[in-house]
Amino acid sequence: MATMRARHKIRAPRRGLASSQTDDYDAVWSVLSASLTEIHTKNASTLSFEELYRSAYRIVLMQRGQDLYTHVKEHEQGWLRGTVQKIVTDSISTTLVCAQTQNASELLDQSNERRAAGEKFLAVLKEAWEDHQLCMSMITDVMMYMDRIIALDHDKPSIYVVSMALFRDHVLNTKVRPDSDLTVMDVLNSTVLFMVQLERAGHMIERPLVRHCTQMLEGLYETVKEEESSKLYLTIFEPAFLEASTDFYKAEGRRLLEIGDAAVFCRIVTQRIEEEHERARTTLSMLTETKILALLDSELILKNIDEVVQLEGTGVRHMLDHNQMEALHRIYTLNARVDRKKEALSKSVNKRVVELGSEINAASIVSPAGVTAPPEKDAEKSKKGKEKERPANQQTVLAIQWVDSILALKRQFDNVWINAFMRDQGLQSSIMASFSDFINTNPRSSEYLSLFFDENLKKGIKGKTESEVDALLDNGITMLRYIKDKDLFETYYKKHLSRRLLMKRSASMDAERQMISKMKLEVGNQFTQRIEAMFKDMTVSEDLTASYKDHVAKSADPDHKPVDLEINVLTSTMWPMEIMSNSKEGILPATCVFPREIEALKQSFERFYLDKHSGRRLTWQASMGTADVRASFRRSNGKIQRYELNVSTYALVILILFNDVPDGESLTFEEIQSRTQIPHHDLVRNLQSLAVATKTRVLLKSPMSKDVQTTDRFCFNNDFQSQFVKVRIGVVSGGANKVENTDQRKETEKKMAEERYGTIESAIVRIMKQRKTLTHTQLVSEVLSQISSRFVPEVSMIKKRIESLIDREYLDRVSEDPPTYDYVA
Amino acid sequence: MESSTQSEYVTLVSCDGFEFILPRSSACVSGTIRRMLDPSSKFSEAITGRCVLENLSGVVLEKVCEYFLYNEKHKDQANVADMDVPAELCLELLMAADYLDT
C-alpha cells in the first residue's frame, strides 16, 4: 500500500467504502422498508442486522436521516392501521360492545359469554402489543444510528417512543365499530374491570393476561415526553378502576353491615384487604396498591367501623365477653389502619370495662339482707365458723370478692391487650383510665382493697410459693395504682395491719414486709413511713417483753406463780388508736377495772417500763389483748374437767369475776358492768361470745336468747363441753377485719376529711414558704400536683383551706385581679 | 446452529475476509454488535453468532478487537494507560468507533 511508506501520515478514511453500492436514497429505503415488513411478519432470521444497520447508517451519512425518520414513522403507522388495528377490532365480539351499554343485572346473566369474549380480546390485544414491542425494539436497534444522530440533533423522541405513541393512537384509540363512539381503550377498560369484578365475586380469572394488559398501559404515555404521571395506566385505567372499586366497596360495606356480624365483617374485610393487595401485585399494578388500600380503608373501614364495633350481639362487647381474641385482633388491625388512636375500638372497650366494673361494684354493695353469695364462697365461709355467717362478714366476703372480680377482669383485659391489641400503648392507657374510673366510683374501694390484703396476708398465702405470693401482692398493688384516694387506703391499711400485728394473725411477716416495700415503690416513701414505724414498735416490744421476763425471773419470789406477760408498746401517733378502741367521740375509753392478779402484773410492768423510759405515759388497751386461761369445770358427778381457754382480755376479766361467785349463783349484766367498767359495747360482744355462741358457751345466760340484754343474768357453766382441750373463744365481730358499718364509715370519713385539711394546708404553706408570692390558679395547681399521689382533692376544698389560712394570717391577699397571695412569715 | 447462539465466542468478519474470534462479552463492548447479537431479536447474526462487518477492513477490525479485549480487561480499573494507536489508523478507527457505537 502506498500509505505504508509515509508511516506518520494520517490515512484518510476510505470514503469509497460503500461506493460499490448505490447512493440512491430511494433504493436503499425500499430495501429497508421491505425488511421492516419482514420484521413485522417475523421473518427476521433471513435478514442481516449488519446490512440493515449499514443501510440506515449510510442514509444518515447521506444527510437523509430526517427523511428516514419520517418514512419509518409512516411505515409503522401504515402497518398498525392496516394490519394490527383490524386484528384487534375483529377480536372484539358484539358481546363486549353491547356490554358497555347494559346494566349490571343483565351483565351477570351473560357473564360467562362475556368473560370468554373478554379473554379472547385481551389475549389478542396482548399479543399485538407484545409483537409491536418486540418488532419496535428490533427496528430501533437497526435504526440506532439514526436515533443517535437525528433524535439528539433535532430534539425528537426516539423512534421507539414514537412508535409506542402510534400504537396508542392507531390501535387503542380507534373506534371499535365504524358506527360507534366506543374505542378499543374503552373496551379494554371495561373488560379489565369486568375481570376484576369477576374475581371479587370469587371466580378464578387469568391474572397474567390482565397483568399483561395493564403492563401495556403502564408502558404507554399520553405524550412522547413519557412523564411518570402521564402513563395511560394512571390517566385512564386507574381512575376508572378506583371509581368502580368505590362503588363496589360501598355496596360491600352495606351488605356486610346487613349481615350484622362484626366478626364476619372483620374477617371479610381483612380478606378483602389481602385480596386487593394480592390483586395489585399480581393482576394490576403496584402503583395502585396504596390507592386501592386507602380506598378500602375509607370506604369499608372508616365509614363502618363505628357501627361494627357497636353491633348488637356480635360487636366488640360480644367479642370481649366471649374472649374472641382473633376477632378482636382483626378489629384492632382494621381500626389501626384508619385511626392511629383507634378511637372507635377504645371507646367501646372502655365502655365495656366500665359496664363490667359497675356490675362488680353493684354486686359488692347488695344490701346484707338480700345477699346471696356464690355457693363456693358459702362453702368456704361455713368452715370459718358461724360468726362468718353474720351480715357484716358477708359484706367482708363481698368486699374481697369485689377485689377478686376486678383482678380477674383486669387479667382478662390484659390478656386481650397482649394477644389482640399488640400491646398498644394508647389502648393500654385508655383501659387503665376506665379501670380507674369505675374503681373510684365505688366509694369503698380503698377499704375493700385493704380488706383484700388483710384476708390474703392472714390466710390467703398459706401453702403458696413465694412467686405466687409475689404475684398476688403485685395484683393488689396494681389496683392500688388505680385508686385515687390513697390516703384513705393508708388509713384502712393501718387499721387492718394493726389488728393483724397485735392479734398475731399475720401468716407471714416476710409477706408483710414484702408488701410494704412494694407499696413504697408504688406510692413513695412518705406513704409507708407510719406503717414502717408500726413494724418497728413491734420489734421493740418483743425485746421489751423478753427483758421484762428476765426482770421478773430475777426479782419474783419463787412461790408465787407469775402470770406471763407479752406486751406491745405502741407509739400512739403511728397507730390508729381511735379506730382500734372503737371510741365514738374521740375521748379515750376508760380502762376497765382489772382483777387483782392482773392489776399487780400491770403495775409491775409499769414500774419496769417507766424505770427505763421516764416521762412516758402508758395507756392500756384492754380491748386489743388476749389471754390464755386454764379453767376448771366441776362436773355434776364430781369430776373436774380442765380446759385451756384463749379469750380476749375483757373476757378474762369477766371470767375471773366468776371465781368469786359460788356455784349456782349468777351475776346480772349490770353487776358485771359496774364491777369491771368494761365499755357497754365491748361487754355485750364479749358476753355474746361467752354465753351465746354454741361451741364456746362457758357462761349460761338466762333467759336464753340470741341477744344480750342489760337485764340478763349469767352464771358459770360447769357442764361446758368441747372436743378440744384448747378452746379459742373469739370475740364476736371483734377480731376480724371487716367492712365498716355506716356509723364507722361516717366516722372514718370525718377523720379523713380532717386529715386532708391538714395535708392541704401544710402543702399550701410549704409551697408559699418557698415561692413567697403566687397567683391563685398557680397555687391550686401546685397543691394538686403535690398531693395527687395521695388523693385528689376538690378545688373548692383547697379554696376553703386558703381562706382559712388567710384568716389565721399565714397568707395575705395582695391583689384581686388576678387573685394573688403573699406568704406571711 | 442453535447452540452457537449461546456460544461464549463470536466471530467477527472484516470486509476483506479476516475472521476474528473473541469472547461474546468483549464483542458486546460495542453497542452495535451487542444489538446485532441480541438473542431476542431473531436476526441472522444472532442465530449464527457470526457478524460480517462490511464497513471495516481487516487492519481496522484487528485494532478494534484489540481495543475490545483491552477495554474488558481494564473495565473495573481507574487510571488505565491509553492504548497505543498508530497515527495512520486514527481517522478510520474514529469512523469505526462511531459506526460500532463504542
ipTM entry: 0.86
Q: How do beta strands B9-14 and B50-53 pair?
A: parallel
> Which of A331, A338, A396 shows the shortest CA–CA distance to A365?
A396
Rounded CA-CA distance B22/A183 in Å is 52
Final residue belonging to a domain, choices A200, A230, A260? A230
**Residue A597 in domain:** no
For residue A427, name the pLDDT band (cuts at 50, 70, 90): confident
Q: Which residue out of B16, B32, B60, B63 would a mutagenesis test of the A interface target, given it has the greatest number of A Cβ atoms within 10 Å?
A: B32
**Residue A469 in domain:** yes
Q: Which cell numbers hold the place of A449?
A: 382493697
Taking CB atoms and an 8 Å limit, are B92 and A144 in contact across chains? no
Q: Is the Cα dihedral A397, A401, A404, A410 positive or negative?
A: negative
If 0-12 CB within 10 Å is exposed, 13-18 middle and 19+ buried, where does residue A204 land?
exposed
If 0-12 CB within 10 Å is exposed, 13-18 middle and 19+ buried, where does residue A288 land?
buried
A271 and A179 within one domain: no
Residue A680 has pLDDT above 80, yes or no: no
Q: Which residue has the cell 353491633?
A: A311
Question: Which run of H or E residues covers position A823?
Answer: strand A819-823
Q: How far is CA A175 from the centre of its chain?
A: 61
Taking CB atoms and an 8 Å limit, are A47 and B53 in contact across chains? no
Q: How far is CA B37 from CA A35, A51, A296, B10, B13, in A?
A: 18, 13, 49, 9, 14
**Residue A283 in domain:** yes
Please count the structural domains in chain B.
Answer: 1
A752 and A673 within one domain: no
- Residue B83, domain extent: 2-100
* Total residues belonging to chain A: 825
- Across A123-137, A396-410, A428-442, A482-496, the highest mean pLDDT is recorded for A123-137
Instruction: Specify the pLDDT at position A577.
Output: 59
For residue A371, name the pLDDT band (cuts at 50, 70, 90): very low
CATH of residue B91's domain is: 3.30.710.10
Taking CB atoms and an 8 Å limit, are A50 and B52 in contact across chains? yes
Instruction: Specify the pLDDT at position A460.
Output: 63
Q: How do beta strands A640-648 and A726-728 pair?
A: parallel
A258 and A121 within one domain: no
Q: At A663, which amino acid appears?
A: D
Please count the structural domains in chain A.
Answer: 5
Q: Is the Cα dihedral A5, A8, A9, A15 positive or negative?
A: positive
DSSP state of A489: H
Q: Which of A387-396, A416-425, B31-40 has the lowest mean pLDDT?
A: A387-396
Rounded CA-CA distance A253/A296 in Å is 10
Instruction: Specify the pLDDT at position A17.
Output: 45
Taking CB atoms and an 8 Å limit, are B52 and A48 in contact across chains? yes
Of residues A42, A44, A50, nearest to B51 (C-beta): A50
Rounded CA-CA distance A537/A259 in Å is 69
A184 and A53 within one domain: yes
The contacts of residue A625 (CB under 8 Å, 6+ apart) are A648, A649
A334 and A305 within one domain: no
Taking CB atoms and an 8 Å limit, are B92 and A49 in contact across chains? no
Instruction: Specify the pLDDT at position A732.
Output: 57
Taking CB atoms and an 8 Å limit, are A48 and B95 in contact across chains? no
> Which of A438, A427, A429 shows the shortest CA–CA distance to A405?
A438
Q: Could you read off the pLDDT of A508-525 as tens digits, one per residue?
A: 777 788 888 888 887 777
DSSP state of B23: E
Q: Could you read off the pLDDT of A456-512 as tens digits, one per residue?
A: 777 766 667 777 777 777 888 877 777 777 777 877 888 788 777 777 777 777 778
Q: How close B90 gets to chain A, by Cα (Å)?
A: 7
A515 and A499 within one domain: yes
Q: Which residue out of B36, B41, B91 would a mutagenesis test of the A interface target, given it has the greatest number of A Cβ atoms within 10 Å?
A: B41
Taking CB atoms and an 8 Å limit, are A49 and B40 in contact across chains? no
Indicate the Cα dihedral angle A155, A157, A158, A163, nearest 10°.
-150
Which of chain A's residues have a Cβ under 8 Å away from the Cβ of B36? 49-50, 53, 141
Instruction: Specify the pLDDT at position A392.
Output: 54
Q: How close A428 gets to chain B, by Cα (Å)?
A: 57
A14 touches chain B (CB under 8 A): yes
Q: Which residue has the cell 398476688?
A: A472
Taking CB atoms and an 8 Å limit, are A144 and B53 in contact across chains? no
Rounded CA-CA distance A246/A252 in Å is 10
Q: How many CB atoms lie within 10 A of CB A629?
A: 16
| Contact predicate B36/B51, CB 8 Å | yes
Q: Which residue of A has its CA nearest to B93?
A: A13
Which of chain B's residues have a Cβ under 8 Å away from the Cβ of A137? 40-41
Q: Helical H runs in A420-524? A: 425-441, 445-455, 466-482, 486-502, 509-523
> Which of A193, A130, A141 shows the shortest CA–CA distance to A167?
A130
Instruction: Specify the pLDDT at position A375.
Output: 38
- Average of per-residue pLDDT values in chain A: 75
CATH of residue A793's domain is: 1.10.10.10
Q: Which cell numbers hold the place of A32?
A: 429497508
> Which of A255, A250, A345, A252 shows the shortest CA–CA distance to A299?
A250
| Contact predicate A202/A192, CB 8 Å | no
Q: Could you read off the pLDDT of A195-246 as tens digits, one per residue?
A: 888 888 877 788 888 888 888 888 888 777 777 777 888 888 888 888 888 8
Residue A109 has pLDDT above 70, yes or no: no
A662 and A716 within one domain: yes
| Contact predicate A371/A423, CB 8 Å | no
| Contact predicate A373/A457, CB 8 Å | no
Taking CB atoms and an 8 Å limit, are A141 and B35 in contact across chains? yes
Instruction: Specify the pLDDT at position A382.
Output: 38
| A vs B: CB pairs below 8 A | 83
Instruction: Specify the pLDDT at position A380.
Output: 40
Taking CB atoms and an 8 Å limit, are A7 and B88 in contact across chains? yes
The contacts of residue A90 (CB under 8 Å, 6+ apart) are none
Q: How close B29 gets to chain A, by Cα (Å)?
A: 15
A629 and A491 within one domain: no
Mean pLDDT, residues A351-367: 74
For residue A5, name the pLDDT band (cuts at 50, 70, 90): very low
- Provide the 3-class DSSP secondary structure of residue A273: helix
Q: At A743, which amino acid appears?
A: D
- Provide the 3-class DSSP secondary structure of residue A713: strand
Rounded CA-CA distance B59/B73 in Å is 21
CATH of residue A661's domain is: 3.30.230.130
Instruction: Specify the pLDDT at position B17.
Output: 85
Instruction: Specify the pLDDT at position A377.
Output: 40
Taking CB atoms and an 8 Å limit, are B45 and A50 in contact across chains? yes
Of residues B41, B51, B88, nearest to A10 (C-beta): B88
Rounded CA-CA distance A311/A346 in Å is 15
CA triple A422-A425-A430, angle to 5 deg:
110
A397 and A437 within one domain: yes
pLDDT > 90 in chain A, percent: 0
A188 and A301 within one domain: no
Q: How many CB atoms lie within 10 A of CB A547?
A: 12
Instruction: Specify the pLDDT at position A737.
Output: 57
Q: Which residue of A has its CA nearest to B35?
A: A141
Q: How close B53 gets to chain A, by Cα (Å)?
A: 7
- Provide the 3-class DSSP secondary structure of residue A677: coil
Is the link from the previous residue into A558 a cis peptide, with omega within 30 of 0? no
A61 touches chain B (CB under 8 A): no
Which of chain B's residues have a Cβ under 8 Å away from the Cβ of A14? 57, 92
Q: Could you read off the pLDDT of A714-758 as tens digits, one per residue?
A: 888 777 777 777 777 766 554 455 566 667 777 777 777 787 888
Of residues A7, A11, A48, nearest to B92 (C-beta): A11
**Residue A547 in domain:** no
B54 touches chain A (CB under 8 A): yes
Q: Which residue out of A1, A8, A45 would a mutagenesis test of the B interface target, given it has the greatest number of B Cβ atoms within 10 Å?
A: A45
- Across A251-265, A390-404, A604-618, B23-37, the highest mean pLDDT is recorded for B23-37
Q: Which residue of A has its CA nearest to B95?
A: A13
Instruction: Specify the pLDDT at position A18.
Output: 44
Taking CB atoms and an 8 Å limit, are A48 and B99 in contact across chains? no
CATH of residue A103's domain is: 1.20.1310.10
**Residue A641 in domain:** yes
Q: Which cell numbers hold the place of A270?
A: 381483612
A404 and A521 within one domain: yes
Q: How close A44 gets to chain B, by Cα (Å)?
A: 5
B53 beta partners: B14
Taking CB atoms and an 8 Å limit, are A47 and B57 in contact across chains? no
- Residue A515, domain extent: 326-525
| Contact predicate A406/A432, CB 8 Å | no
Mean pLDDT, residues A689-696: 74
**Residue A738 in domain:** no
Residue A87 has pLDDT above 60, yes or no: yes
Q: Could you read off the pLDDT of A624-659 as tens digits, one per residue?
A: 777 787 878 777 777 777 888 888 777 888 888 777
A420 and A368 within one domain: yes
φ/ψ of residue A281, rounded to 5: -80, -40
Residue A74 has pLDDT above 60, yes or no: yes
Indicate the Cα dihedral angle A492, A494, A496, A499, nearest 10°.
-150
A641 beta partners: A633
**Residue A590 in domain:** no
**Residue A734 in domain:** no
A670 beta partners: none
- Average of per-residue pLDDT values in chain B: 81
Final residue belonging to a domain, choices A197, A230, A263? A230
If 0-12 CB within 10 Å is exposed, 13-18 middle and 19+ buried, where does residue A31 land?
middle
Q: Which residue has the cell 360468726?
A: A387
* Total residues belonging to chain B: 102
